[in-house]
Chain A
Amino acid sequence: QVQLVESGGGVVQPGRSLRLSCAASGFTFSSYGMHWVRQAPGKGLEWVAVIWYDGSNKYYADSVKGRFTISRDNSKNTLYLQMNSLRAEDTAVYYCARPTVDTAMVFAFDIWGQGTMVTVSS
């Protein structure tokens, strides 16, 4: 079935780095733009980043620009989020998400992963 599975979360000290992964299955991963969305504890949803289906374009929320890098490996059906210079305010559950259509890189999301928790704390 269509599925996204995140991994790589954990507890990390401020200023350190972490890389999240999102393994896709059940659909043609290389045809879809892919996104990261996060949710701080008890808070709402915040869009983080998008990458085009072929990796040719990447866009970020202002809150993570210059610190986070989204990437993908279509041969491995995997999406990544490299998070550098982490701050306490980056503490959140991180979800990868797929748009409902492969013809639009930015759209509503019909497939979400289960989320992976990132805690930034000393």
Chain B
Amino acid sequence: DIQMTQSPSTLSASVGDRVTITCRASQSISSWLAWYQQKPGKAPKLLIYKASSLESGVPSRFSGSGSGTEFTLTISSLQPDDFATYYCQQYNSFITFGQGTRLEIK
């Protein structure tokens, strides 16, 4: 099974900050990686697929990069609506999620 490890687990930041979340796979997954945003009591929302493709309707301040085993999600300028939990997901071999990164207000 492919394991996904996100870092950090919690990130404190302010509105306007640039933040980066990292996701590492236990083996190469090519570019078969997605990023989701989840708010309390809601289903996850797809942000990025195929490592760097922005889902329709998602603001351009979100971007993804990486391939193989290391990936990043970057939010270029944090907005109040961005404080949430973020998950990476590999779909190279079935599905595995990272443990999540909680983005909180500093």
- Number of contacts between A and B (CB, 8 Å)? 52
> Which residue on chain A has the smallest CB distance to residue B55?
A110
CA distance A50 to B95 in the complex (A): 9
User: Is A13 interfacial (CB 8 A cutoff)?
Assistant: no
- Indicate if the CB atoms of A44 and B95 lie closer than 8 Å: no
User: Is B84 interfacial (CB 8 A cutoff)?
Assistant: no
Given A112-B43, A114-B43, CB of A47 within 8 Å of CB of B95: yes
- Indicate if the CB atoms of A106 and B98 lie closer than 8 Å: no
- Indicate if the CB atoms of B97 and A107 lie closer than 8 Å: no
- Indicate if the CB atoms of A100 and B94 lie closer than 8 Å: no
- Indicate if the CB atoms of A106 and B94 lie closer than 8 Å: yes
Interface string of A81-122 (1 = CB under 8 A from B): 000000000000001000010000011111011110000000
Taking the closest CB of chain A, its distance from the CB of B97, in whole angstroms, is: 4
Given A108-B91, A109-B44, 16 other A-B contacts at CB below 8 A?
Answer: A45-B44, A45-B87, A45-B100, A46-B97, A47-B94, A47-B95, A47-B97, A100-B55, A107-B91, A108-B34, A108-B49, A108-B50, A109-B34, A109-B46, A110-B46, A110-B49
Jot down 30 A-B pairs with beta carbons below 8 A, ordered by A.
Answer: A35-B95, A44-B87, A44-B99, A45-B36, A45-B44, A45-B87, A45-B89, A45-B100, A47-B95, A47-B97, A50-B94, A50-B95, A59-B94, A62-B1, A95-B43, A95-B44, A100-B46, A100-B55, A106-B95, A107-B49, A108-B50, A108-B89, A108-B91, A109-B44, A109-B46, A109-B89, A112-B43, A112-B45, A114-B43, A115-B43
